[in-house]
Amino acid sequence: MYRYLSIALLAVVAMSRCEQPSGPTGMSEISTFGSNPGDLKCWQYVPQGNLRKVPLVVVLHGCLQDAQEMARLSGWNTLAEQEKFIVLYPQQSAANNLNRCFNWYQPGDAARNNGEAESIRQMIAQALAQHSIDERRIFVTGVSAGGAMSMVMAAAYPELFSAAAPIAGIPFGAADNLTAGLAAMAGNVTHSPEVWAEKARSQNPSFSGTYPRVAIFHGVDDNIVKIANAAEIAKQWTHLHGLSAAAGIVTESFNNNPNVQRTLWTRAGKDVVVRYDLSGLGHAIPVDPGTAPHQGGETATFAKDLNFHAAWWSAVFFGIAM
C-alpha cells in the first residue's frame, strides 16, 4: 500500500519535471525572512521604475518545479513588468518533500502560524518592509500543490489577502494526511458548503472581515487533480461570502473561446467568485503565448496553449490589469 502511495504521489501530485530556465529571469533571492519555520526559500521579481504602493502577487509552484520554472511558464514576470507589481515566489525543497510539493495536506504546514504557511506569511512581511507595497492589494495564486497551498494561505490568513486564484487546486481542509490528500485529488472528498466554510473559519475564529475573493481555474480533462475539486472550492468560498453555490451565472465560450466556460458569482456588482472550466486542458497551466497585453506564458509538458492566459485573467480578477 505504501509503495502504491509513493508512486501515486509522484505520478499524481507532480506537476512536471524541473525544466531549466531558458534565459535570465531578473529574479533575486530573499535570503532572510523571519524564523522561516517551514524552511522554504523565496525569490522575488521587482519591475523597473519608481514603484510606490504597488500590488504584490505570491505565486506558488507545483511539484517537482521551482520558482524559476514557474515564473517562466506562467508569464507572471512579464505581466508584472507590464502592469507594475511585485511577485514573490516561495520555493519548496526536497528536504521538506521528496517531490518538492508544498505540504498542503500536512497540518503542521497547512495551518495558521505553522510551518510552510507561516514561512510564506513571513516572506510577505519581509517584502512589505523592503518595498512600497499596497497592503490592500496582496494576492496569492498557484498551480497543483501550489494551488492547494494558495487555498491554505487564503483560509489561514484572510486578513492578509484580497484575492486568490488556484489552478488545479483543492479546497482548504480537504486532507490532513497523504492518504486523504490522494482521495481529495481524485475528487472523492465532498462536503456541504457549511462544512467547507467552517473549516476555513476555524483558522482564524476572531476574523470578522471580508474573506478573499477567489478565481478558480481547472482543466476539464485533468486526471491528476479532478475537476470535482473546482466545485468544492466554489462551495467553500461562495458560502464564506454568503452566496449560494447554485446561483452562479454560466457563460459558455467565454470571451469567444469555445474551450472556456465561466461561472460567476457577484455581490453588489463586484465579482466575488469566478470559476473557469477549461475544456481540452489536463493537469497544466493554461497559457496564451504571444506579445499582446492579454497574452503570455510558455508551453511545456505541463503548460498548454489554450488561447487563455491564466495569469492575465487572474490579474484582471485581482484588479491589477485591464
Whether 144 is a known active-site residue: answer yes
Residues 274-284 as b or e (16 or more Cβ within 10 Å = b) = bbbbbeebebb
Among the listed residues 74, 144, 150, 162, the single catalytic one is: 144
Cβ proximity of 274 and 216 under 8 Å: yes
Contacts of 302 (CB under 8 A, 6+ apart): 15, 16, 62, 73, 283, 284, 285
Location of C-alpha cell 504602493: 53
Q: Spell out the alpha helix ranges (H) of the chain.
A: 2-8, 67-74, 76-83, 115-130, 145-156, 178-185, 193-201, 228-240, 310-318
CA 168-133-207 angle, 5° bins: 65
- Which active-site residues does the annotation give? 144
